[in-house]
Amino acid sequence: MKENILINKYISMVVVLFLIAFGVRADKLLSIEEKIVTLTLLGEAHDKGEMGMYAVGRKIEKVASERNLRPAWACMITNEFKCWAELKSVRISHKVQEMQKKWLKAEFDENGTLVPDPRHLYARELAKGLVAGKKLERK
C-alpha cells in the first residue's frame, strides 16, 4: 500500500514537472500572452483571493487601454506591476520561468494525487478573457 502511494506521488510529480515545463494545465495550452497575464494575476493578488485577482484584471485592462497595449505587454513593460519589476532577469523568457516557479506550485493530497488549485484555474480563465479582449464588468 505504501509503495503504491509513493509511486503515485512520483508519477504525479513527473506529470506536474512536464506540465509546468511546457506551460500547460492538464486540459489546455496557454499562449505566452495568457501565461504572462495569469502569472501577473497570481503574483499581484496571491493573498487576496478572486476579488483581488479581479481588481488586478481591471488594472491590466485599464493600463492596456490607456497605453494602447496588449494585456501581456501592459503587465511586463509598464512597471505598473511589482511582481515583474522585482525580478532580476532581463530576458522575458527568464522572467516567465521565474514567475512560474514562484506562483505555479503544485499541491498533492495524502495519496500523492495532484490537486488543482482553484486560484490557478480562476486566474487562467480571467487571463484568457482579458487576452481575448473581453471587457471585465465592474463588481
Q: What is the pLDDT of residue 108?
A: 60
Identity at 118, one-letter amino acid code? P
Q: What is the pLDDT of residue 139?
A: 63
pLDDT per residue of the chain (139 residues) written in tens, 0 to 9: 555 554 545 454 544 445 455 544 443 567 889 989 998 999 999 889 899 999 999 999 999 999 999 999 999 887 888 888 887 777 777 777 888 777 766 566 666 665 667 888 888 899 999 999 998 887 6
User: Could you tell me the residue ranges of all domains in the chain?
Assistant: 2-132
Q: What is the pLDDT of residue 6?
A: 47
Q: What is the pLDDT of residue 109?
A: 61
Q: What is the pLDDT of residue 65?
A: 94
Cα torsion 41, 27, 25, 18 to 10°: value is: -160
Q: How many CB atoms lie within 10 A of CB 90?
A: 7
Q: Are 119 and 53 in contact (CB under 8 A)?
A: yes
Q: What is the DSSP string of 102-129?
A: HH---EE-TTS-EE--HHHHHHHHHHHH
Strand 114-115 and strand 107-108: the pairing is antiparallel
Residue 92 half-sphere exposure, CB side, CA atoms within 13 Å? 9
pTM reported for the whole predicted model:
0.70
